[in-house]
Structure 1
Amino acid sequence: MFYDGNYLDLVRKYYMHQHKKNAWISVRGLHEYIRYKFASEEGVGSADCQITEAHYFRERFSAQQSIEKASETLYNERVLDDILMKERVTTHYLPVNFAGKESSIDVWLALDAFDMAVHQRFDVIALIAGDAAYIQLARKLKALGMPVLVLGWTFAYDAASGEQKGTRPSQLLLNEAKYPVMMSDVIDRMDSAQGEEKEALSLLFQRRKTAAQAIGAEHDDDWKVGTIAHVQNGYGFITPEGARENLFFYCSALVDTDFDELYKGMEVSFLKGMGHKGPAAVKVRTAP
């Protein structure tokens, strides 16, 4: 298995913050579903399909950049690292400030995947990717007689700014795969799945606490209304409606909006909880 980490991050955030599932896609759940999918396509038992190698490639901020970006960035990266390590996924990182163009990590993934395919002779390679940059990799693997399974997602949503965001996998990449799998379709119909497929999908989503919740934070179920009092360098303050004291928040608390879209006086709604240094807004959104 080879993960385009930037692609996986985009997909996981969508299902956590935009989709009705409101949960993180589980790495373990993905592995279980891939084993099931290949077994069903080949007509063999899932127990006979094992993941022998798994590699995750991504560009990553330095420690200092992570601190400047948001307080939870380092925590979230460490949590994902723990998950990948537990699932025996080997991580490969390029620092963002040296990575250059986005294709840098794509090239590294493609070269390593092809090199391992040639020397280790895998039975099948699974790509969690959607970029056209991987078309040549899929073609080369097909020329070696090695089946390729590609997991892709199609989704779109309206951001708080009114801009439509989303992703769609390269159709040419899907065409090169022996087993193209549109996971967005699988997920949308997963509640009606039966038998072995239902069992394979049972671990696909998991709910994970935020850093604030992980250190014992509790927050009310009701969203409260306030206005942005100040924003700067990845954090800001909210003036709650009818209150005198401002409430601190990090950009990582934002739901369905970008930090650079906020401005002083903007109306927001928030969930109050306990942060690292006391009361804080643990979730902030622009729509009341």
Structure 2
Amino acid sequence: MNDRLTKIGVFYDGNYFLHVSNYYNYDHSRRARVSIAGLHRFIEARVGNAIGQPGNARIVDSHYFRGRLNAAEAQQRGSVLYYDRVFDDILMSSGVTTHYSPLRTTHGRRGEKGIDVWLALEAFESAMLRQLDVVVLIASDSDYVPLVRKLHGLGCKVLVMGWDFEFTTDNGTRMITRTSQELLEAASYPVLMNDLIDSPVSSGEKDLIDGIFVASNPDKKWREPAKNGEAKATLKPNNKVVLEEPSEGSPGDRLESEVFSLKNGYGFIKYPPNNLFFHHSAIENADFSELYVNDPVAYTLAHNDRGQLVATEVELLEDFEEE
């Protein structure tokens, strides 16, 4: 009997993980975020069962990768520094090493650069130096297929945790998330988590699934809509009042405006005489929790499934500078 410990390394594509956690917190009936500690317990149990040695698999290395605002920008975003620190504490308490890259602006748009390459290099190095038996990828992109093949070359098995889901927002927009089929086919152990979460096959699996989730964030008040209704003028940080004129645009146009209101997982952008709906998953360079009423944003006009105008490809812009 082989009693040697099976060593596991876990590697998070942070932006993808956040997208999944937001889905369960805002859109799924569970209304709860994914727990790092609970997910790790599930991974150890899943790998132990896969190798036929329950209880003999342990996570010995774990890493989280994501682009984020620099300190000066985060300080201007109210509580963002605080919430970043809270999540850092959660990761550290579960033994996860964090890797952050500053969000960079390219061709007028801000986003992550090189995160997938960084993750791949760290995963391969860790598998080689620590002689990992199993690498777990919490990711969905086919760009990780070459990494999976390289890890197999080291004799390291790969478990890919993916989520496929779709839903329709309150505004009638259909949202779809899919894990790369090529990535799932390349993995030693492909796991579609949405199927397991919605339809656990045993009471023991149900207990593990329930343990993946924590209660929803109780601090919601700071993201509630403004109380003053649809004001026709806005006071900017430079203390100048800018009158709002009727907006004009067509689907596909790239426009700029401000956040009018924020609710639980969605919001509205000022677009006189009405306002444009946007879903949390439409935000490209920030987390929904980082937005505040009156934040400047860029967005693309689009029609939802009902033919209504909505905002997609929403990007948080730099704050207005005082003159």
TM-score band by shorter chain is 0.7 to 0.9
Distance (whole Å) between structure 2 residues aligned to residue 263 and residue 23 of structure 1? 34
Please point out which of 158, 163, 166 is paired with 2:168. 158
- Going from structure 1 to structure 2, the CA distance change for 1:27 and 1:135 (only over 3 Å counts) comes to same
The CA RMSD over aligned residues, in Å, is 3.2
SS in 2 for 1:114: helix
Moved more, 152-161 or 107-116: 152-161
Is 1:65 aligned to 2:73, yes or no? yes
> Paired residue for 1:228?
230
* Equivalent in 8, 15, 18 of residue 27 of structure 2: 18
- Give the CA deviation at 1:201: 2.0
Matched with 1:75 is 82
Pairing 1:1-288 to 2, within 5 Å after superposition:
1-46=10-55, 48-68=56-76, 70-97=77-104, 102=112, 104-159=114-169, 162-190=172-200, 193-211=201-219, 227-229=229-231, 253-260=262-269, 266=275
Number of aligned residue pairs: 242
Report which of the two has the higher share of helix.
1
Counterpart code for 2:49: S
Alpha-carbon deviation of 1:157?
A: 2.6
Check conservation: 2:144, 2:183, Cα contact below 8 A: yes
Structure 1's consecutive aligned runs of 4 or more residues displaced over 6 angstroms after TM superposition are 98-101, 230-234
CA positional deviation for 1:40: 1.2
Counterpart Cα distance in 2 of 1:162 and 1:138: 38
The 3-state SS of whatever aligns with 1:91 is strand
CA 1:2–1:98 in 2, change beyond 3 Å: closer, same or farther? farther
Q: Is the 8 A contact 2:105 2:111 kept in 1?
A: no
Structure 1 residue ranges without an equivalent (≥5): 235-249, 269-279, 281-288
- CA 1:148–1:176 in 2, change beyond 3 Å: closer, same or farther? same
Does structure 2 retain, via aligned residues, the 8 Å contact 1:66–1:74?
Answer: yes
Aligned to 1:238: none
Task: State the AA in 1 paired with 2:153.
Answer: A
Alpha carbons of structure 1 residues 77 and 101: separation in structure 2 relative to 1, 3 Å = closer
When residues 232 and 115 of structure 1 are mapped into structure 2, their CA distance, relative to the original with a 3 A threshold, is farther
Q: Is the 8 A contact 2:70 2:103 kept in 1?
A: yes
Q: Is contact 1:72-1:252 (8 Å) kept?
A: no
Asked if 2 retains the 8 angstrom alpha-carbon contact of 1:72 and 1:211, the reply is no
In the aligned structure 2, how far is the partner of 1:233 from the partner of 1:33? 48
Q: C-alpha separation between the residues in 1 aligned to 2:230 and 2:16?
A: 32
TM value normalised by structure 2: 0.66
Structure 2: distance between partners of 1:73 and 1:150: 30
State, as a whole percentage, how many aligned pairs show the same letter: 37
More strand by share: 2
- Could you tell me how far apart the structure 2 residues matched to 1:146 and 1:126 are? 10
TM-score of the two chains, using structure 1 as the length reference: 0.73
> How far has the Cα of 1:79 moved from its partner?
1.9
